[in-house]
Every structure is written in C-alpha cells, then in structure tokens.
Amino acid sequence: MTKLTPDDLNLVPFVSVDHMMKIVLGIGVENVLTGICEYLEEDFKRWELFDKTPRIASHSNEGVIELMPTSDGQVYGFKYVNGHPKNTKEGLQTVTAFGVLADVNTGYPLLLSEMTILTALRTAATSAMAAKYLMPEGSKTMAMIGNGAQSEFQALAFKAICGIDKLRLYDTDISATDKCIRNLDGLGFDIVKCDSEQMAVEGSEIITTVTADKQYATILTDNMVGSGVHINAIGGDCPGKTELHKDILLRSEIFVEYPPQTRIEGEIQQLPDDYPVKELWQVMTGEVEGRTNNKQITLFDSVGFAIEDFSALRYIRDQLESTGQFQYLDMLADPDDPRDLFGMILRAALPAKQDGE
C-alpha cells in the first residue's frame, strides 16, 4: 500500500478517476455520502472562518467554465469545473472537474484529485444535509424531476442521510428514467415511473429538480406545489438558468449557501436583489430558524459553493492512508539551492552529455 507521507516531500498525492471509483466502491457509496456529509456539517458550522467569493465564471453560448476557490486559513482549495449541457448529445459529460488542496503556510499542493465523480457525491450529500434540517418530519417519498447523471447520487444520499425509500421519477427523456431505475434496482427503493412532473410530485414530501438545460425553464409551475413540502432545487446554477416558476419562490421560505453567488445563479435571480433569504449555515448553527410549521414550503436554492468542494476534498484526502488508492506526481521543482532553478535544469542534462561522449 502506498503511504501518504512520501520520502520525497515534493511529490503530490493524485487521485485519478480509477482511484476515486475504487475508493467509493471499497468504502461503499452510501458510506461515502454520509462521510462527506459529516465533513460538510463540520465546515458549515465554521462557515465564518472561510474566505468566500462567488465563483469565477467564463460563460459562452455552449456552457460555462468556472474556478471555485476558498480557504480556512490553514488549507486552500479550489475546483475547476465546467457545465456544458450540449455535451450529452455528443457522448460527453455535462460536468467535468478536478480539485486541489494546498498548504497555506508554504503554498505547496497537498492533493490533486479528479472531481467529476466527487462533485456528484458532494452535491448529493449537500442536498441531503440541507433536507435533514428543512424537510417535513417523517418524510419518506421524494419526487425527482431530471434523471440524468446526478439522479442516483441524490437518491442514495437522501436514503442514507434522510431515510427516503420511495422515489417518483420523471424525465422528458424516458431512457434517462429507465437508466436510473436500472441503476437503483436492489438498493432499497420503491420506485414509481411517472409520465409528467405533476404525477411525480403527487404524494411527495420532497421535490428535487435536477435538470441540465441552460435556459429559463419552468419545470414546476405554482399549481403543482402544495403546502408542507421541501423543494431541493439544484438544476439552476448559472445566470439565465432556472427551473421554478417565480410564484413558487414567493410562497416559500428560501435557504441558500452564499447569497452573493445565489442571487446571480440560483432560482432567486428571478427576484429583487434585496429579497430576504436565509443562509443554510445559520440554520445549522441555530442562529436562524429552519422549518417552522408543517404547512410551510421550504426551498433549498442550491448552486454549489467552494466550501462544499473543500469539504469533499478533505474527506477524500483523509481516506488515502487506509485505502492506498492514489499515486504520487512529480509536480514540484526541487533545486538544491531554491534560488538556482536554472542550474537544476543544467544539471539534469549532465548524464545525457556524459553518455554521448
């Protein structure tokens, strides 16, 4: 097994896609989701310690490329991530990502990891964590509208963290729903395949919307949503992309990760800039109330935030010693004299010259 502290301290642990899959399968998907959730709760409860800024986004007609940085003062982290809904038509992933943790004291990287799989896991864990604080008590049934790459992760997170065991699934692409049902077979769910959004939400205490199209969409209209439900809106995550009719927002108690980012990217981009919302971390620390009655509609307007990636990367780094699922990359120059980087290059050429003489 590879040890986490190498003899050469200039080597950087790297978690590939293959390593990530082996970590998840070795620990168990639901165990990974609950583990990430624990790290998320730790970091949300110390939210005020972190550097916070809206993600740095480069938008195009085809999609978006983003950088998501943060630091708790000791460790710095960032994620590179894209969102290109058109990619699925070309056989490509809508979202790809990688992330880095670094030591604030030296600036040296501590971890480089794939984050396409890890982002799906942390998004699902964040959704379920929010629902744990906001959903109606005793919730067992979730409607999931949008059954693409995120759907199985969401289902398993809500099962492991919130106790959801009944799913009502709908997607405009029937093959996506069939895929989701097939992948979740035997994992403890009672699943109903629905032929409309309206059918999906009937009898559901939790409604998750997780669609991918980059457009102002109305996945749910006001008349579809009754009282006493929790809405987990995670598909709207950039300017010009929404899923809910504005009237639903006006009837809901809205909870967000980081208001300056959510007002740009979330469902609340449809509302005035001063419209009141609550921050999830304050609910978790007891500073503000979450759900206050059984008839209330609670809405988690989630766009994803850098601290969540930071938590997920921390979790993965802490699994490396026990799993051994990583390799070292020679990423950091290490000259004998830190001021003589060019001399290091020259000395690297000496053996080749001697061989040719």
Give the sign of the dihedral formed by CA 173, CA 236, CA 127, CA 112.
Answer: positive
Q: Is 274 marked active-site?
A: no
| Contact predicate 156/30, CB 8 Å | yes
From 43, 171, 237, 309, active-site residue:
237
Q: Identify the CA nearest to 207 among candidates 161, 180, 167.
A: 167
Q: What is the DSSP letter of 87?
A: G
Q: Is 72 exposed, middle or buried (0-12, 13-18, 19+ CB in 10 A)?
A: middle
Q: Provide the H-helix boundaries in 91-164.
A: 116-134, 151-162
Q: What is the DSSP letter of 238?
A: B
Residues sharing a CB contact under 8 Å with residue 66, sequence separation 6 or more, in sequence order:
55, 56, 57, 58, 80, 81, 82, 83
> Tokens 């080597």 identify what position?
11
Q: Is 137 exposed, middle or buried (0-12, 13-18, 19+ CB in 10 A)?
A: exposed
Letter string b/e over residues 172-196, b meaning 16 or more CB atoms within 10 A of that residue's CB: eeeebbebbbeebeeeebebbbbee
Strand partners, 330: 11
State the CB neighbour count (10 A cutoff) for residue 59: 14
Strand partners, 170: 145
Give the catalytic positions in this structure: 237
